[in-house]
Amino acid sequence: GENVEQHPSTLSVQEGDSAVIKCTYSDSASNYFPWYKQELGKRPQLIIDIRSNVGEKKDQRIAVTLNKTAKHFSLHITETQPEDSAVYFCAASHSSASKIIFGSGTRLSIRP
Amino acid sequence: EAGVAQSPRYKIIEKRQSVAFWCNPISGHATLYWYQQILGQGPKLLIQFQNNGVVDDSQLPKDRFSAERLKGVDSTLKIQPAKLEDSAVYLCASSVVLDNLAFFGQGTRLTVV
């Protein structure tokens, strides 16, 4: 079955610097890759997603890149702010209405 | 638009007791997921419904866990009997059919003592 690996498990960056979180997936048929942000005690919230027909997608300070050949995708957060501190999860699925498999999460801390 | 509703928010039970969780998805969302999130880990899919049919329950411990979505809307997840290792947050999510964009509920935090 599909497996999603996520690195690093923890990440600490200076406020204003960039943060990068990387994920790899095992099922080459995967074609949908969402990223979720989860603050302490709250529900996972979708922050950005990408489908396999594009290589990059941006939304203000957040961008996601996808390399289908290498089966990896990354989340990039620029100009980090204190409110970016949270746990971030990548996920993958391979067809409409199929199960979404999550990575193990990255705890991002922004140092003032 | 109302979000995914779950209840209760918190539950503490003793091992070997039974417990049930309830989820009401976003109106019109045919796909419903139940995930188990153990502290410090990513959500793990337990079961996925499409309307009232099960799409995937390969990770559901069927000797103790059961779930149903009889009318294709609300769903319940039951654990009987509970074990200590069942302590986790149980998240319900829903999505429109033909789209994997999933929206999560607040979750139910279960503590088994």
pLDDT digits (tens, 9 = 90+) for B52-110: 899 889 999 999 999 999 888 999 999 999 999 999 999 999 988 666 778 999 999 99
pLDDT score at B16: 97
Sequence-distant (6+) residues with CB within 8 A of B59 are B44, B45, B46, B47
Classify the C-alpha dihedral B66-B69-B73-B74 as positive or negative: negative
Determine the pLDDT at residue B72: 86
Q: Give residue A35's pLDDT band: very low, low, confident or very high (50, 70, 90).
A: very high
Query: In the prediction, which pLDDT does B110 show?
Result: 98
In angstroms, the CA A61 to CA A80 distance is 8
Helical spans, DSSP H, in chain B: none
- Measure the CA–CA gap between B23 and B91, rounded to whole angstroms: 9
pLDDT band at A13 (very low <50, low <70, confident <90, very high): very high
Q: Which residues of B touch A93 (CB under 8 A)?
A: 100
Which residues of A are less than 8 Å from B91 in CB distance?
A: 43-44
Nearest to B91 among A43, A49, A103 (CB): A43
Kindly tell me if the per-residue pLDDT of B33 is higher than 60.
Answer: yes
Q: What is the DSSP letter of A93?
A: B
Does residue A8 have a cis bond before it (omega within 30 degrees)? yes
Cβ–Cβ below 8 Å for B97 and A98: no
pLDDT for A20 equals 98
Q: How far apart are CA A31 and CA A23, in angstroms?
A: 14
Inter-chain CB proximity A97 and B102 less than 8 Å: no
Round the average pLDDT of chain A to a whole number and report it.
Answer: 93
Which of B42, B56, B97 has the CB atom closest to A89's CB atom?
B42
In this structure, what is the dihedral angle of CA atoms A90, A93, A94, A95, given to the nearest 10 degrees? -130
Which pLDDT belongs to residue A82? 96
Q: Could you tell me which residues of chain B have a Cβ less than 8 Å from any Cβ in chain A?
A: 30-31, 33, 35, 40-45, 48, 50, 55-56, 58, 91, 95, 97-107
Chain B neighbors of A1, CB-CB under 8 A? 58
Report the DSSP beta bridge partners of residue A101.
A92
Nearest CA distance, B77 vs chain A (angstrom): 18
Cα–Cα dist A51/A72, whole Å:
13
- Segment B6-28, tens digit of pLDDT: 999 999 999 999 999 999 999 99
Question: What is the average pLDDT across A27-37?
Answer: 92
Residue A86 binned pLDDT confidence (cut-offs 50, 70, 90): very high
Structure confidence at residue A41 as a pLDDT band (50, 70, 90): confident
